[in-house]
Chain A
Amino acid sequence: MPVESDLVTDSSESIPESGETPTRAIVPDPQFVQEFTRSQRQIYLYILSQVPSPVDADEILQETNLVIWRKVDRFQLGTNFLAWAYQIAGLEVLKFRERRHRDRLRFSEEFIERVADEVEGVSDQLEARRLAMLACIEKLRPADRELIEERYSTGENGLSVARKKGRPANSVYQSLGRIRRALLECITRRLAAEGST
């Protein structure tokens, strides 16, 4: 058998009559698949808070997904999918750190633990924050909105936007910082207002 994994059933157990190919697939419970699909963003955010680079975070997400998928049969429906997924993602972050032990830019384990706790604690507010953020983006001045949209278009970063606009990188960094802070404040205000009505 090409795949050696604990999930593969021992093929000698069940050789069917010749000619009839067995259909042997794990078809996960649809509820599982739905949970899985829906929690992608949250898992990504969980990971991103623990590694400094979005590209790395993405890689870890992919690996986490594979593990989740491999362990599909270990998950009990009705229990907290996200908590389970966070656990797996956490382990993958640690593995990734080990692989990159020579990387000078990495967070300490203590920091990662602290941040992971924090993210888990606010996990249920994340969706509300995201919706608030969308509304806040609408409220930005057009030029600011344009800048932030450009910065977060695929493949861009502050530097590439600065080059495109012919602006000094530092001034773009400053603008981006100002806009992100404005968004954060707007989100906080908005949520406070919603909470009081």
Chain B
Amino acid sequence: MSAVRFQELSELMEGLCEERLSPDQLMRLEQIVLADPAAARYYVEYMHLHGTLIWDTAKSAGSAPHRVSHALNGRHAVEPSRASRRVPHRTGIIAVTAAALLITTGVAAWRLTGDRDGLPAVTHNGGRSVEEHAIPAGDGISNDSNRVNPHSDERKTSTVSGTLAGVAARDGKRISDADLPRPVMAEGSATHPQTPPPAATGLKTSDPPSAGVASSGAGKGSSTGKTSDQNRLLGDIVAFVNEELRTAWDVEQVKPSPRAEDSEWLRRAHLDIIGRIPAPGVVERFLKDNQPGKHARMIDSLLDEPQYVRHWTTVWTNLLIGRSTSNDVQRTGLQKFLREGFAHNRAWKDMVFDLVSAEGTPEENGAAGFLLAHLNNEAVPATAITARVFLGTQVQCTQCHNHPANDARQNEFWEFNSFFQQTALVEKEVKDTVSGKVVRRAALVNREVGGPNFYETRQGLMRAAFPKFDGEQVDPSPQVNRRRELARLMVEDDGQQLARSFVNRTWEHFFGAAFTRPVDDMGPHNPPSHPALLDRLTSEFVQSGYDVKQLIRWICQSDAYRLSSRFSDANSIDDPAVGNTPLFSRVYVKSMTAEQLYDSLIVATKADEAPRALSHDLDRQRDEWIQQFILDYATEENDEASTFDGTIPQALLVMNGELVSAAISSAPGTLLHDVVKDRGSENDKIRRLSLAALSRYPTPKELAALRKTLHERVTKAPRSQNRDVLMAEGFQDVFWAFLNSNEFVLVH
């Protein structure tokens, strides 16, 4: 396609893309395109380029274009999910409800703008009010309020109030701002009734006990084993964290956000530490607890929960081998290894040593599951991932050339890669533990080979690379087990990069931002935001013997972790999402992971107690459910793209899937069934649903708006309809609205 030939057209296209064409120019463009098929083709190709750039950058963050390009080498087709074949067909209203309400749920990060009068800041694209765009009865769909825009950076304040607006709009009712419930969390405790509704007491017995139940696996890090020395040290470190952050706030002249409500903090701590929201009974007990130190006690008790082990196993399995379950054996083995490690609070460096030096099949040695997943392509993925995940350093770019931005040289990549030179994959015949049959399994072995690795420079020269880590070269003879040497060097490293990287990652896990961005690109070229803090936490972590639970305590007991997620005028610049250096003057909002969403839905709805559908093997069902969001690529980094990103199709998938339909069914055993069946006032019932979904009581305004919706549903229906059924459907809608709110799907 010759650019010269279409010079005029391409100039017009420029104007079109920048939206600065005059009507005359637009007409001229039409003329050219209509006159010549080749011009029409050029037009379409141009718009495709423009549109793809818009679409892609809107969906990916930061360095994505760079990463994506690696995926070009071998892209795998999406494997249809197994879970998806069994969804039954039914007809009815929920899908319509879904579509109607869906558009009211925002997706991007959650930001409460400074609306001082407490009215909901339902921000929408044109800044138009909901009132102007309420849809006449019959259409039932509120198109404009808060619609999801895949490439809009506007962070929306679609909280429950936004969703409720949808409920009401669906009823053909015009909504004025005054009718809308207050924005979630925007009010002080005065609006939160602290006394639990009488009907909620019935919940307590069915809640899993939380506080005080120590998991059998809790090891040395458990609260019971703490000595007073440890406590003093804990206090010292937490004080240091507070001091460091406060100093930075002063320097930058920001004021931290106010403290989070207890319910907000509790929900956050649950999601971060054990990967799901708290059960309603736990929330009620925590809110009623007046003893000092209840936050620290809650952290301790969460760390002792079996769910802690499950959550951190999930997090690290995903980091190490991703979410794809294409190789179940490796995955199961690795999970078992991690589970045991986290259950016994093993020193992080010991776990890493095992992972890096593992040999055998995943059944013999679960740790082997990690490298077995990455040995394709001359162990290039293994090299890159080991460096990135454990050491927080990016070497994959230096595979082919010297790093443009840091000191890393191409030889360093291959020297690191050289450690994996002896590593091989052999097929072993083993007896399957379940079937008893002899099956072939991949095993990780070390071959006794020696000498350097060879690579080609950009100039086409062959070079040799000997195994070398952080300046230390290892004996290249065949008898030396190189991976074992690498593992040793990594854990003995004076620079403490292994510890530093883990601290950085764990900090990000809780605060939603790391000291460096990205979290796994550390080094002199990318200085951390709080160097002294990172240094101290790193050395204390090393001192503690790489005690993961202690590190979590230091972070979670800090003042900063107690802060609200909301902006105030005094810290609006503290927003890493727009590229500013994080100051941690508030806890940044995170999206729930697919696993957190799944587990939280189960806790909120008690769907697992329904007789049908979600039964015994929750882990497997969760994995299957998650597979529908995953695409994997066999690339230099064995990337996978999660399509779990909170867009419209995404939300449709989730909210119309089997899971949610089972979750808000009113089958016996589910929460909804209990709430509908149990005696109690409407207010109590709404409170129970709110507590289950959002871990807090509804504000009076929310309550009033919801009751109104419920009533209208009943009064407007023909007399022939059964009132109880209508009310039950009404409560189902209310619950659905709670679950479909931003407040539910975000960790805040």
Contact B95 A25 (CB under 8 A): yes
CA distance A29 to B628 in the complex (A): 13
Residue of A whose beta carbon sits closest to that of B657: A27
Contact A62 B652 (CB under 8 A): no
| A3-25 at interface with B (beta carbon < 8 Å) | 3-5, 7-9, 11-12, 15-16, 18-25
B 1-44 binary contact with A (CB < 8 Å = 1; else 0):
10100000011011011110101001000100110000011011
A contact residues around B48 at 8 Å (CB): 45, 49, 126, 129-130
Interface residue stretch chosen among B79-87, B281-289, B452-460, B513-521: B79-87
Contact A52 B26 (CB under 8 A): yes
A102 shortest CB reach to chain B, Å? 12
A contact residues around B154 at 8 Å (CB): 155
Residue of A whose beta carbon sits closest to that of B95: A26
**A75 within 8 Å of B by Cβ?**
no
Contact B143 A62 (CB under 8 A): yes
B contact residues around A110 at 8 Å (CB): 30, 34
Known: A18-B724, A18-B725, A173-B18. Is A104-B23 also a contact (CB below 8 A)? yes
Number of interface residues of A (CB under 8 A): 93
Contact A27 B88 (CB under 8 A): yes
A187 shortest CB reach to chain B, Å? 7
Interface residue stretch chosen among B550-558, B596-604, B643-651: B643-651
Residue of A whose beta carbon sits closest to that of B151: A154
**A63 within 8 Å of B by Cβ?**
yes
CA distance A73 to B171 in the complex (A): 23
Known: A11-B721, A28-B656, A44-B55. Is A66-B732 also a contact (CB below 8 A)? no
Contact B53 A187 (CB under 8 A): no
**B512 within 8 Å of A by Cβ?**
no
| A106-161 at interface with B (beta carbon < 8 Å) | 107-108, 110-111, 114-115, 118-119, 122, 126, 129-131, 133-135, 137-138, 142, 148-149, 152-155, 157-159
| A164-197 at interface with B (beta carbon < 8 Å) | 173, 176-177, 180-181, 183-185, 187-188
**B653 within 8 Å of A by Cβ?**
yes
Contact A180 B94 (CB under 8 A): no
Known: A3-B140, A134-B68. Is A58-B90 also a contact (CB below 8 A)? no
Contact B18 A157 (CB under 8 A): yes
**A40 within 8 Å of B by Cβ?**
yes
Contact A107 B72 (CB under 8 A): no
Contact B151 A54 (CB under 8 A): yes
A contact residues around B438 at 8 Å (CB): none
**A81 within 8 Å of B by Cβ?**
no
Residue with the greatest number of chain A CB neighbours at <10 A, chosen from B51, B53, B68, B716: B51
**B436 within 8 Å of A by Cβ?**
no
A contact residues around B1 at 8 Å (CB): 184-185, 188
Residue of A whose beta carbon sits closest to that of B732: A21
A contact residues around B84 at 8 Å (CB): 30-31, 33-34
A contact residues around B137 at 8 Å (CB): 4
**A163 within 8 Å of B by Cβ?**
no
**B99 within 8 Å of A by Cβ?**
yes
Interface residue stretch chosen among B314-322, B406-414, B658-666: B658-666
Contact A70 B96 (CB under 8 A): yes
Contact of B46 among A38, A62, A157, A180 (CB under 8 A): A180
Known: A29-B87, A111-B30. Is A45-B47 also a contact (CB below 8 A)? yes
**A53 within 8 Å of B by Cβ?**
yes
Contact A155 B3 (CB under 8 A): no
CA distance A177 to B643 in the complex (A): 32
B contact residues around A134 at 8 Å (CB): 56, 65, 68-69, 72
Contact of A15 among B58, B88, B725 (CB under 8 A): B725
Contact A27 B33 (CB under 8 A): no
CA distance A78 to B56 in the complex (A): 28
**B152 within 8 Å of A by Cβ?**
yes
Contact A3 B722 (CB under 8 A): no
A contact residues around B13 at 8 Å (CB): 180
**B492 within 8 Å of A by Cβ?**
no
Contact B103 A66 (CB under 8 A): yes
Known: A12-B720, A184-B46. Is A5-B72 also a contact (CB below 8 A)? no
CA distance A165 to B45 in the complex (A): 29
Known: A3-B100, A27-B87. Is A69-B10 also a contact (CB below 8 A)? no
Known: A48-B50, A52-B16. Is A15-B92 also a contact (CB below 8 A)? no
B contact residues around A153 at 8 Å (CB): 57, 153
Contact of B54 among A8, A30, A152, A183 (CB under 8 A): A152
Contact A49 B43 (CB under 8 A): yes
Contact of B151 among A27, A58, A62, A133 (CB under 8 A): A58
Known: A19-B724, A27-B90. Is A36-B649 also a contact (CB below 8 A)? yes
Contact A45 B628 (CB under 8 A): no
B contact residues around A20 at 8 Å (CB): 666, 725
Contact A27 B648 (CB under 8 A): no
Contact A7 B95 (CB under 8 A): yes
Contact B44 A49 (CB under 8 A): yes
Contact B55 A41 (CB under 8 A): yes
B 136-158 binary contact with A (CB < 8 Å = 1; else 0):
01101101000111111110000
A contact residues around B650 at 8 Å (CB): 37
A contact residues around B33 at 8 Å (CB): 111, 114-115
**B222 within 8 Å of A by Cβ?**
no
B contact residues around A62 at 8 Å (CB): 103, 143, 147-149, 648
A115 shortest CB reach to chain B, Å? 7
B contact residues around A30 at 8 Å (CB): 80-81, 83-85, 87, 628
**A94 within 8 Å of B by Cβ?**
no
| A48-92 at interface with B (beta carbon < 8 Å) | 48-49, 52-55, 57-59, 61-63, 65-66, 69-70, 72-73
**B677 within 8 Å of A by Cβ?**
yes
B contact residues around A24 at 8 Å (CB): 90-94
Known: A3-B170, A23-B661. Is A187-B55 also a contact (CB below 8 A)? no
A contact residues around B55 at 8 Å (CB): 41, 44-45
CA distance A138 to B291 in the complex (A): 58
A132 shortest CB reach to chain B, Å? 9
Contact B53 A148 (CB under 8 A): yes
Contact B23 A105 (CB under 8 A): yes
**B402 within 8 Å of A by Cβ?**
no
Known: A45-B51, A154-B152. Is A115-B99 also a contact (CB below 8 A)? no
Please name the 9 residue pairs, one residue from A and one from B, whose CB atoms are nearest each other, closest first: A24-B92, A30-B84, A25-B94, A26-B95, A154-B153, A21-B728, A21-B666, A177-B14, A37-B649
Q: List 21 A-B contacts (CB under 8 A).
A: A2-B716, A3-B100, A4-B137, A8-B96, A23-B90, A24-B94, A26-B90, A27-B89, A33-B649, A34-B84, A41-B55, A62-B648, A111-B33, A114-B34, A118-B41, A118-B43, A134-B65, A158-B17, A173-B14, A176-B17, A176-B18
Q: A9-B93, A131-B72 are in contact. List 6 more A-B contacts (CB 8 A).
A: A4-B138, A21-B729, A22-B92, A33-B657, A61-B150, A115-B33
Chain B residues engaging chain A, CB cutoff 8 angstroms: 1, 3, 10-11, 13-14, 16-19, 21, 23, 26, 30, 33-34, 40-41, 43-58, 65-66, 68-69, 72, 75, 78, 80-81, 83-85, 87-100, 103, 125, 137-138, 140-141, 143, 147-154, 170-172, 404, 628, 643, 647-650, 652-653, 656-658, 661, 665-667, 672, 676-677, 713, 716-718, 720-722, 724-725, 728-729, 732
